[in-house]
């Protein structure tokens, strides 16, 4: 980067290569989160001895993702996307190893620490979608962002189904079978970090800044990232406000319902209660693995469709589609809570709704603020997404115990409906201002 002038580089070629590298790393790192989502709540109950801690892994993972989003964004501002993304992935690699060690040692605190470090990998994966639009042309932003989101599909869907292969690997290595899936997680995260560290050159963010600076004859500056400056930039734009609410709301609803579904299915199919080992029901583990796999497939597999719809039909309409799908999802999962098949269908729709809202909302956010504020705003957005997910994960167990799985889904439906109203209002105001 220091020896090559911006004019000597073809931004389109660099953009294509960047999207390919980001997508490849997402595929590899997705295995880590997939395994954690499928067995995290089960391990938490086993090692803590109480179902009250079922949502603890999701909570610490999302809290850590929220807390690290802005520091990783600041690192990207100063050192580029490559350094920020690799830092998050290396931390997640350490987390996967700690999760494995926690199972071997029977340590619940170590399990929580491992989950927290894996949260940094989640933050890095979220920021990878923004790295995909650093050099993207405006009419292709949705496509580029969705391509990177889509690439995580294979790894993320495979993760929950690695329980049984992981058990075989664990037995071979002489570790508890339930710790085996984290061997795959660690390997995937290691390869993803190496791929980006070696291959993401030139850095897309630094190159985009150099190109913008050259076009402006050296003018322009970068705003120092902080929650306050990011929130000010978002507050100044109605479009950015809607985008933020759309992605934060979708993430909170998705995490709250998804994090309690394995426990709900385990009780429904396996009939286990506190004091029993939740890993003893093979049928329950298979159903949980399949359900979470299909849910994650819904989150990522149709991302190109949502990216295309975002570019062609518009950001507002795609956000609305996403939250309508979330409403339908919680209705199906909640009302069909005693039927594993209906719960699975609801989880698929939940993933689809999250995907549409996140892709359209992230694209709208990236283009609704000034370029020198973009990275900071993206960090703030991911921080608040993580906070919403942490809140959903932390309270979902309490809500489940209070009003049941159906009630948990009803609360999620209310949140999705609020975003739909805001989207309609913002769109109407924008149409009115354009017509004036």
- pLDDT at res. 190: 95
d(CA 220, CA 208): 12
What pLDDT band is residue 36 in, cutting at 50, 70 and 90?
A: low
Average pLDDT over residues 355-372: 91
Q: Is the pLDDT of residue 63 over 90?
A: no
pLDDT, position 277: 44
Q: What is the pLDDT confidence band of residue 124, given thresholds at 50, 70 and 90? A: very high
Tell me the C-alpha distance between 160 and 270, whole Å.
Answer: 18
- The mean predicted confidence, pLDDT, of the chain is 85
* Per-residue pLDDT tens over the stretch 79-103: 999 999 999 999 999 999 999 999 8
Residue boundaries of the structural domains of the chain: 7-211+225-435
Given pLDDT bands bounded at 50, 70 and 90, which one contains residue 272?
Answer: very low
Round to whole Å and give the CA distance between 309 and 317: 8
Burial group, residue 307, by CB count within 10 angstroms (0-12, 13-18, 19+):
buried
The secondary structure of 143-200, three-state, reads HHHHHHHHHCHHHHHHHHHHHHHHHHHHHHHCCCHHHCHHHHHHHHHHHHHHHHHHHC
For residues 320 and 318, what is the distance between their CA atoms, to the nearest angstrom?
A: 5
Number of neighbouring beta carbons within 10 Å of residue 165? 14
Please say if the pLDDT value at position 278 is more than 60. Answer: no
Q: How far apart are CA 358 and CA 347, in angstroms?
A: 16
CATH superfamily of 7-211+225-435: MFS general substrate transporter like domains (1.20.1250.20)
DSSP letter for each residue of 325-371? HHHHHHHHHHHTTT-HHHHHHHHHHHHHHHHHHHHHHHHHHHHSS-G
CB of 185 closer than 8 Å to CB of 36: yes
- The residue with tokens 């050159």 is 201
Q: Which two tokens stand for residue 177?
A: 């079978």
Quick count: other Cβ atoms within 10 Å of Cβ 338? 11
Residue 360 to residue 383: CA distance in whole angstroms: 18
Ramachandran category for residue 201: left, alpha or beta (phi over 0 → left; psi -120 to 50 → alpha):
beta
Secondary structure (3-state) at 219: coil
For residues 83 and 127, the answer to whether their CB atoms sit within 8 Å is: no
pLDDT in tens, 1-25: 444 555 457 888 999 999 999 999 9
From the number of C-beta atoms within 10 Å of its C-beta (0-12, 13-18, 19+), residue 250 rates as buried
Evaluate if residue 221 carries a pLDDT over 70. no
The per-residue pLDDT for 3 is: 45
């Amino acid at each position: 980067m220091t020896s090559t002038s911006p004019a000597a580089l073809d931004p389109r070629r660099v953009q294509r290569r960047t999207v390919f590298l980001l997508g490849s790393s997402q595929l590899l790192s997705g295995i880590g989160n997939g395994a954690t989502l499928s067995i995290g709540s089960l391990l938490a109950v086993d090692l803590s001895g109480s179902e009250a801690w079922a949502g603890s892994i999701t909570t610490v993972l999302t809290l850590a993702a929220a807390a690290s989003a802005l520091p990783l964004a600041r690192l990207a501002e100063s050192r580029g996307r490559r350094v920020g993304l690799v830092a998050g992935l290396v931390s997640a690699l350490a987390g996967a190893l700690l999760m494995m060690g926690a199972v071997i040692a029977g340590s619940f605190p170590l399990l929580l620490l491992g989950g927290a470090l894996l949260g940094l990998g989640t933050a890095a994966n979220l920021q990878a979608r923004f790295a995909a639009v650093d050099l993207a042309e405006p009419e292709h932003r949705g496509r580029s962002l969705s391509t990177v989101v889509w690439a995580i599909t294979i790894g993320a869907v495979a993760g929950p189904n690695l329980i049984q292969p992981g058990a075989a690997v664990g037995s071979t290595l002489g570790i508890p079978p339930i710790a085996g899936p984290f061997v795959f997680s660690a390997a995937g995260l290691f390869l993803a970090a190496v791929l980006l560290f070696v291959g993401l050159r030139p850095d897309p963010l630094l190159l985009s800044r150099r190109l913008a600076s050259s076009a402006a004859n050296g003018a322009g500056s970068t705003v120092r990232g902080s929650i306050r400056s990011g929130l000010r930039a978002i507050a100044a734009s109605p479009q950015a406000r809607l985008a933020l609410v759309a992605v934060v709301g979708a993430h909170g609803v998705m995490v709250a319902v998804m994090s309690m579904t394995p426990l709900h299915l385990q009780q429904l199919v396996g009939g286990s209660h506190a004091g029993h080992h939740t890993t003893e029901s093979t049928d329950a583990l298979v159903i949980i693995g399949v359900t979470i796999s299909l849910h994650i497939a819904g989150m990522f597999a149709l991302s190109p469709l949502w990216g295309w719809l975002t570019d062609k039909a518009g950001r507002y309409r795609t956000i609305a589609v996403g939250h309508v799908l979330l409403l339908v999802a919680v209705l199906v999962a909640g009302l069909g809570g005693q039927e594993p098949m209906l719960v699975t269908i609801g989880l698929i729709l939940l993933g689809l709704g999250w995907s549409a809202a996140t892709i359209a909302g992230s694209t709208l956010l990236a283009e609704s603020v000034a370029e020198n504020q973009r990275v900071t705003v993206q960090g703030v957005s991911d921080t608040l997404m993580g906070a919403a997910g942490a809140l959903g994960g932390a309270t979902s167990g309490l809500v489940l115990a209070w009003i049941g799985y159906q009630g948990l889904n009803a609360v999620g439906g209310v949140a999705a409906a609020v975003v739909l109203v805001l989207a309609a209002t913002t769109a109407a105001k924008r149409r009115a201002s354009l017509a004036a």
